[in-house]
Structure 1
């Protein structure tokens, strides 16, 4: 048998250029991700007097408007014990989703100059917006925890543990949609208008300002469709973790939706994961022409 031709000294196995592993590339490029997050923070607060303090000011202002309009004028605080905590625990979670989706949709277009010049995993840009949004979310969460402690909340392990899957579900759902619309926005700038409409609806499509029994009475058998929304389940789990322990058992009929943990939490996790997989697939298919289209 003839022997194989010897490999030339100094040669290495050729690697096909441009192959992307999707979100796995982000894990390999953690240093680049860190740089992008720092850049996003610096750009966002350049010339700002308050800087990250806006992470507290804006949600507190939003909370004040909703509390006065719904809690005082419509007297929802009369039928919902500790309505202020009920309201704020939902607001900060929805704001987290809104910030990720809005900024990830613009992330590729906003970084067009960098994308034209060098190759780096395109997923880094939407994922960096998730980390920036998390940096804004945790100060708001600290305010919520402080309010709960003042209201008599004594956190248990399970209370804290329940908040984790709710946070992850929202992050995964928003990232999946952000990848999808971020890629589509390179080709069709109408995508930003579609996202704006989604964000306009999302606060009212989840039990942030109202309680779930109101929806059950209005929808009847179709209530299951409402509960299939991962944002609805995440907000209700946040209520279970932070709001219900402060009511001292006075939540009554406003307590847990039927099947929240044993049925709807796994369903919402599955829906969010499916959206992430779809978003990654769409992003990879469209990302090959980003530099040309931008």
Structure 2
């Protein structure tokens, strides 16, 4: 096999096995699109509902949580527009869980491709992330419609909060996903731990309850600060600011219940969440880059 000359490399030729590292998803956009299409086709092969599953799962989650917590535990009485509050958090943890889980299994799940032909390994977790975003869009549309029914109107504050939340969530989760994808190629137990993390994250973020309830219970302790610095807590609160906090029912209830005002609002500790997300992404990318040459042997 001949090695490309310097002239050929200058014209865009690269030796086999060489790639652009973390820039692969940008440079290999065509391959990335092919992998996204492949994942979508495989996922819904033989399915009668297809993309409708993007609505079914969050709808069932919402109904179960709303009845159990909103009706039985009467959280809906203490929280104005509780349906919007609840669904704002559900869409966050669903997107977190799907990106995290899919990215973790992206290398082991594509073992035949990884072991037999050369493809930039970064494309697999990134394609999983894009598929998760495709499934997130229908849930977001339902959230927007629901918020509008409660009198919510788009505003610059809502758009900034949503953009910050999405940025932190995607960067943070992709960092975790790249890290666990590399580990899962060698140790299959990792994907089971990821499922546990997603389950715990649902309850350790203010999805089902108000953050003021946590503050009342552990304020003044280190646990309160750690809870606030949880990137998922920050993202869920940003989504609440975007879709719930400034709805008419909530604004009207604030004089009677000041606890509806979120800590550090409107955007809270977004800067801390972004810093943690970027640090996690860098660590995950470095570990992935150092591990990717062993994937074929480990699979």
- State the 4+ residue runs in structure 1 displaced beyond 2 angstroms: 8-23, 251-263
Separation of aligned partners in 2, 1:245 and 1:65: 26
1:265 aligns with 2:249: no
**TM-score, length of structure 2 as denominator length:** 0.91
User: Partners of 1:10 and 1:22 in 2: how far apart?
Assistant: 22
Provide the residue aligned with 2:97 in structure 1: 98
* Gaps in structure 2 of 5+ consecutive residues: none
* Residue in structure 2 matched with residue 242 of structure 1 by the alignment: 243
Structure with larger Rg: 1
Which range is displaced more, 202-211 or 21-30?
Answer: 21-30
Q: Distance in 2 between matches of 1:11 and 1:174?
A: 38
Equivalents in 2 of 1:256, 1:230: separation in Å? 20
**Which moves more between the two structures, 77-86 or 238-247?**
238-247
* Partners of 2:199 and 2:9 in 1: CA distance: 54
C-alpha deviation, 1:20, in angstroms: 4.1
Residue equivalent to 2:38: 39
Shift of 1:259: 2.4
Shift of 1:16: 6.6
| Kept after mapping to 1: 8 A contact 2:161/2:239 | yes
CA RMSD of aligned residues (A): 1.9
Structure 1 Cα separation of the partners of residues 227 and 97 of structure 2: 19
The answer (yes or no) to whether the contact 2:250–2:260 under 8 Å persists in 1 is no
The alignment's TM-score, normalised by the length of structure 1, stands at 0.92
Q: What do residues 181-227 of structure 1 show as CA deviations (whole Å, max 9, x unaligned)?
A: 01101111111121111111010110000011111111122311101
**1:233 maps to what in 2?**
234
Q: How many residues align?
A: 287
2:292 pairs with 1:287: yes
For 1:61 and 1:29, locate their aligned partners in 2 and report how far apart those are by CA, in whole Å.
38
1:97, 1:236 → 2: CA distance? 14
Q: Check conservation: 2:244, 2:250, Cα contact below 8 A.
A: no
The CA distance in 1 between the partners of 2:258 and 2:141, in whole Å, is 28
Q: For residues 141 and 17 of structure 1, do their structure 2 counterparts lie closer, same or farther at Cα, with a shift above 3 Å needed?
A: same
